[in-house]
Structure 1
Amino acid sequence: MNELNHLTIAAALQGLATKTFTAYDLTMACLMQMEKHRELNAFVTETQDLALQTAMNSDIRRAQGQAMGALDGIPLGIKDLFCTEGVLTTAGSHILDGFHPTYESTVSANLWKAGAVMLGKLNMDEFAMGSSNGTSYYGPVTNPWRRKGDNTRLVPGGSSGGSATAVAARMALAATGTDTGGSIRQPAAFTGIVGLKPTYGRCSRWGIVAFASSLDQAGPMCRTVEDTAIMLGVMAGYDPKDSTSVDLPVPDYRKAIEGGVKGLKVGVPKEYRLDGLSPEIAKLWEQGVAWLKEQGAEIKEITLPHTKYALPVYYIIAPAEASSNLARYDGVRFGLRVPGESLDDMYEQTRAAGFGKEVRRRVMIGTYVLSAGYYDAYYLRAQRIRALILKDFTDAFKDVDVVLTPSTPSAAFGLEEKFDDPVAMYLNDVFTVTVNLAGLPGISVPAGLDSRGLPLGLQLIGRAFDEETVLRAGRAIERAANFTAKPEGF
């Protein structure tokens, strides 16, 4: 029974349905793995008692023939950006110390309605600002993977690093993540799992602590494309509490994944062939093209001419929105409060103590680009270029159905290797930020190992609200790659 935590969601649902094991057994296997590998620092808060009680309730329902929904009895981890009623929610920040929400985020509420079990809240970069999970107030998360012959601790990627590590290390069958500039897809690639960033508006943002409101999107992180389809089907849906939520029916994603790619037109953007791109990444990209071609897809080179502006545009818009969103954390209503000699002093002392270095950096950048005299030069110009980036994709999708790119410019790096160089850290998002700026769906699928034995991912980008095609192409890559590697010892 100790190997139950290695099951996929699909296999676990089958085992629960046939009464091969119970939800309690499944949950206990995950809890034991969590306890065994606390050194990875994947969780901020563990909810063992709640998890076991929820699992027992699931077993009672199944015994009575009344299974609740598509995830009944499945143990999951929840990124600590999702508000969970009565359970500590920190966003990886000191400033939210002691915050126990009185409400539940819509996405997590959807999961509980489907019968899922919450194992705990997962560590993350502070306020989702980071590409390494090194900015969390609760310390860095460690990737369970190691380079061959080298025990250097590696980053799991960010900001959803705790989610990625929990899934890769078999602590949870799946996890929720959020993606503002690559925060699901990059850590998924670094840890050898599948991560999907849905179309902006596909999953509700209500109850998710905001970073950059026009870019943030919740999505699933799983070990297979099929599990990703199952999770997305539960997480997605219209929510009247979120004005950016789109009122569209949620397709049967699980049914869609086996449609194959025969006749599908796959675009390969020439602008993503960057100077200095790792030869191993380039080779894997070509392999991905070959895999899709062998399965009947038609390959076309496309151009996305404004790609080179994506990173600077992102690092103007995202900090600008962050500086606005984070103004609410003032020590008055919730979370940390540091006494001061006056109200203004209390604000200053609380924010200085509560926000980490990276958050302070981005708030300062954001405040600067929104300030009088610089708003037109930076923020408005960035928004205009963002519109051109979207137009690039709109034009490309007139000729192709899906776009294939690498997920990241490198494999996972050491915990200390880029932390003191924010620009080098920001470059990790070079292949992912365009998707957020354009509001499109994108998936990272594990496709191979580099020469040092670390996982590498391929990214597929689709038309808005066409997650079905993205998942279908992702399944084709998954089938061809046959990625079965896992971190040693896990």
Structure 2
Amino acid sequence: MEETYKRIKGMRLLALAVLAMSFWSCKQQASSESDVVLWTPYNDSTEVAANQDHENSRMRYKLIQSKVLDKNDVFRPLYEEVSAVTNEDYEKLKSLILKQDILGLQAAVASGNLTYEEIVLFYLKRIYSYELDNSTTLNTVIALNEKVVEEARLRDKERREGNHPIYGMPVLLKDNIGTEGMNTTAGALIFQENSAPDAFIVRQLKARGALILGKVNLSEWAYYLCDGCPVGYSAYGGQTLNPYGRRVFETGGSSSGSGTSMAAHYAVAAVGTETSGSILSPSSQNSVVGLKPTIGLLSRSGIVPISSTLDTPGPMTRNITDNAILLDAMMGKDPEDKSSVGKDFGKEWYKGLSYNELKGKRFGVFSNLMEGDSIYRQTVEMIRREGSEIIVIDPPRVPLDGFLSILNLDMKEDLPAYIAQNINNKEAIRVKTVADIMKYNLQDSLTRIPYGQGRFEAVVSDSTSAEELQTIKKKLEEDTRAFFNTAMDTHDLHAILSINNYHAAYAAAAKYPALTVPMGYKLSGEPISLTFIGKQFEEPKLLRLGAAYEKVSKVRKTPENYK
């Protein structure tokens, strides 16, 4: 790859001259790089109209394209760097990068067949190719790190033995995670100039040498703004689309951009956040691996919150090994997060995951899912054939009374605390409370809240007392843990198997980890995933089980139009 690397370096100026003919539906040339038009807005009314009869009411969109985000502002700064990658270079890099996990990429770098700069440029080329074409855009990448190529070159110069595997790997972040040099919008227009500092997990990633490639779209305010609205929509970023079926399948939310970007191979890894299902859902809908960790394993400091009780960031990747590596890279004790535990799973615990077997493992499976979902049933039978013991369970019904009050009351307190502690430019962002944001939104409801703000209204109006809230939290945690523990302890289970985010609220209230892994595709082509649920801080066990399942299932496919 040394020859390819030199060619990339040498062709930047030439590529600028021929960009209009060879580069992604660029509409016009300009006299200087600062004026180059890489993207032109389009009329999305035909697409919106085509979705008005969609069987899923949440996919009857009011708009797809953002009304405020100019993609030229996002993509111009790295234009020269990316335009130097020829199609021939890209195809060579693709053969070395596309199907590799992190350990494979690191081996290629160590052998001299790849550089970190080439890895970054490969993913940027893909992002530019698909996201600047209105017929393929997923409205996923809404900010790029303008220094990422320069930083990759520095990683190449400073590479040495003993670095964490995340070193030099380009990572995308959900846009509610604080990142210096890129605004942290949470998808909301009031936060479009929120220049917040690095979140704790971002500092951890950078300390281990990761490259922050950019920020991705999300369901606005982590899907705690509007009722019954499309997942993956934000006023700032527009409507995120699913690469397995644009405007056909939901993206899942709220970490919609993290899921879609992984499915389309826009980076090595992505970080999402979850309160209840916001990692599990988009991971499942986009056929990628998503881990919702135990509350406290990863810090929440510097992340725009819903609930300090239930929020957590988590890794989203295309395979188990990468998921474990990204998780490890973000871990650490954070004194600013009262729930942070500083758990240590041991040195390089993430290695050797592919050697795990299903033989001798004991899994609990839900009776109603066995009866109602053929893919789940077939998957369970495959796991049984691999030597696992399957125990059909029918847990008692556990009402989740008061669950939304946890979110309402926490957000009412936690969002103002975030604003006070993290927003640097308070002159531009003149709000302090959820009620203030609601008033701001009402000044231009068509642009700022086209689907309303029903959940914000519930936050403001929830009259649950502090004493009642503590009672709700305690009861829900006890009841949901019993929901899982009764079966786990009675039958000595290694894990309970669910589908997608079906039991996300139970795992959330119990503060238990959940790992979702691609399970297959429905007849329509929509992805579906198998979800492993365990007890607190059993992430290594879940990842070992997921790796054993991944090894025998081998079902994940790259979306047809994003290969």
- Counterpart for residue 94 of structure 1: 189
Q: C-alpha separation between the residues in 2 aligned to 1:180 and 1:348?
A: 21
* Correspondence 1:120 to 2:217: no
Change (3 A) 1:56 1:256: same
* Correspondence 1:350 to 2:440: yes
- Counterpart for residue 484 of structure 2: 393
Q: C-alpha separation between the residues in 2 aligned to 1:332 and 1:176?
A: 23
Name the SS for the 2:213 alignment partner: strand
- Counterpart for residue 110 of structure 2: 17
Which stretch shifts more, 468-477 or 1-10?
1-10
- Counterpart for residue 542 of structure 2: 470
Q: Give, as a single letter, the amino acid of the residue that structure 2 aligns with 1:266.
A: F
Normalised by the length of structure 2, the TM-score is 0.73
- Counterpart for residue 426 of structure 1: none
- Counterpart for residue 265 of structure 2: 170
- Counterpart for residue 513 of structure 2: 441
User: Once the 2 structures are TM-superposed, how far is the Cα of residue 136 of structure 1 from its aligned partner?
Assistant: 4.6
Change (3 A) 1:209 1:37: same
The answer to whether the 8 A contact 2:168-2:209 is kept is: yes
Change (3 A) 1:152 1:87: closer
* Correspondence 1:457 to 2:551: no
User: Once the 2 structures are TM-superposed, how far is the Cα of residue 322 of structure 1 from its aligned partner?
Assistant: 1.9
Name the SS for the 2:560 alignment partner: coil
- Counterpart for residue 202 of structure 1: 297
Which stretch shifts more, 441-450 or 380-389?
380-389
User: Once the 2 structures are TM-superposed, how far is the Cα of residue 42 of structure 1 from its aligned partner?
Assistant: 0.7
Change (3 A) 1:35 1:90: same
The answer to whether the 8 A contact 2:141-2:215 is kept is: yes
Q: C-alpha separation between the residues in 2 aligned to 1:396 and 1:335?
A: 54
Change (3 A) 1:10 1:313: farther
The answer to whether the 8 A contact 2:115-2:156 is kept is: yes
- Counterpart for residue 425 of structure 1: none
- Counterpart for residue 366 of structure 2: 269
User: Once the 2 structures are TM-superposed, how far is the Cα of residue 358 of structure 1 from its aligned partner?
Assistant: 6.7
Q: C-alpha separation between the residues in 1 aligned to 2:206 and 2:128?
A: 23
- Report 1:130-169 matches (<5 A): 132-146=231-245, 152-169=247-264
1:161-209 alpha-carbon deviations (Å, 9 max, x no partner): 1111111111111101111111111111111111111111111111111
User: Once the 2 structures are TM-superposed, how far is the Cα of residue 305 of structure 1 from its aligned partner?
Assistant: 1.8
The answer to whether the 8 A contact 1:97-1:335 is kept is: no
- Counterpart for residue 201 of structure 2: 107
Normalised by the length of structure 1, the TM-score is 0.83
User: Once the 2 structures are TM-superposed, how far is the Cα of residue 459 of structure 1 from its aligned partner?
Assistant: 0.5
Which stretch shifts more, 294-303 or 256-265?
256-265
Name the SS for the 2:531 alignment partner: strand
Q: Give, as a single letter, the amino acid of the residue that structure 2 aligns with 1:137.
A: Y
- Counterpart for residue 120 of structure 2: 27
Which one of the candidate residues 251, 258, 272 is aligned to 2:355? Answer: 258
Which one of the candidate residues 371, 384, 393 is aligned to 1:293? Answer: 384
- Counterpart for residue 281 of structure 2: 186
1:39-71 alpha-carbon deviations (Å, 9 max, x no partner): 211112111x31101110111012xx3564221
- Counterpart for residue 419 of structure 1: none
1:408-456 alpha-carbon deviations (Å, 9 max, x no partner): 5xxxxxxxxxxxxxxxxxxxxx432211111111111111111012221
Change (3 A) 1:66 1:254: closer
Change (3 A) 1:301 1:484: closer
Name the SS for the 1:176 alignment partner: strand
User: Once the 2 structures are TM-superposed, how far is the Cα of residue 332 of structure 1 from its aligned partner?
Assistant: 11
Q: C-alpha separation between the residues in 1 aligned to 2:162 and 2:545?
A: 31
Change (3 A) 1:358 1:336: farther
The answer to whether the 8 A contact 2:231-2:256 is kept is: yes
Name the SS for the 1:195 alignment partner: strand
* Correspondence 1:405 to 2:498: yes
- Counterpart for residue 320 of structure 1: 409
Unaligned ranges ≥5, structure 1: 409-429
Change (3 A) 1:336 1:477: farther
Change (3 A) 1:159 1:207: same
Q: C-alpha separation between the residues in 1 aligned to 2:343 and 2:162?
A: 26
Change (3 A) 1:67 1:22: farther
What is the aligned length?
A: 448
- Counterpart for residue 426 of structure 2: 334
Name the SS for the 2:238 alignment partner: coil
- Counterpart for residue 74 of structure 1: 169
User: Once the 2 structures are TM-superposed, how far is the Cα of residue 260 of structure 1 from its aligned partner?
Assistant: 1.9
Name the SS for the 1:186 alignment partner: helix
Which stretch shifts more, 32-41 or 352-361?
352-361
* Correspondence 1:40 to 2:40: no
Which one of the candidate residues 311, 314, 323 is aligned to 1:219? Answer: 314
The one of the two structures with greater contact order (alpha-carbon pairs below 8 A, sep at least 6) is 1
Q: C-alpha separation between the residues in 2 aligned to 1:24 and 1:333?
A: 33
User: Once the 2 structures are TM-superposed, how far is the Cα of residue 325 of structure 1 from its aligned partner?
Assistant: 2.3
Q: C-alpha separation between the residues in 2 aligned to 1:152 and 1:249?
A: 42
Change (3 A) 1:111 1:451: same
Change (3 A) 1:139 1:465: same
Q: C-alpha separation between the residues in 2 aligned to 1:20 and 1:241?
A: 42
Which one of the candidate residues 348, 362, 381 is aligned to 2:455? Answer: 362
Q: C-alpha separation between the residues in 1 aligned to 2:170 and 2:273?
A: 19
Change (3 A) 1:272 1:484: closer
Which one of the candidate residues 129, 149, 155 is aligned to 1:58? Answer: 155
Name the SS for the 2:272 alignment partner: strand
Which stretch shifts more, 430-439 or 361-370?
361-370
Q: Give, as a single letter, the amino acid of the residue that structure 2 aligns with 1:314.
A: F
* Correspondence 1:237 to 2:332: yes
Fraction of identical pairs, as percent: 27
The answer to whether the 8 A contact 1:257-1:471 is kept is: no
Q: C-alpha separation between the residues in 2 aligned to 1:188 and 1:435?
A: 16
User: Once the 2 structures are TM-superposed, how far is the Cα of residue 155 of structure 1 from its aligned partner?
Assistant: 2.8
Change (3 A) 1:313 1:446: farther
Change (3 A) 1:106 1:257: farther
The answer to whether the 8 A contact 1:198-1:217 is kept is: yes
Change (3 A) 1:469 1:358: farther
Name the SS for the 1:166 alignment partner: helix
Q: C-alpha separation between the residues in 2 aligned to 1:241 and 1:382?
A: 22
The answer to whether the 8 A contact 1:370-1:379 is kept is: no
Q: C-alpha separation between the residues in 2 aligned to 1:348 and 1:85?
A: 27
1:302-337 alpha-carbon deviations (Å, 9 max, x no partner): 343244x24x54333223322322345599963755
Unaligned ranges ≥5, structure 2: 1-88, 132-136, 225-229
1:139-158 alpha-carbon deviations (Å, 9 max, x no partner): 11111112xxxx64533211
Which stretch shifts more, 349-358 or 209-218?
349-358
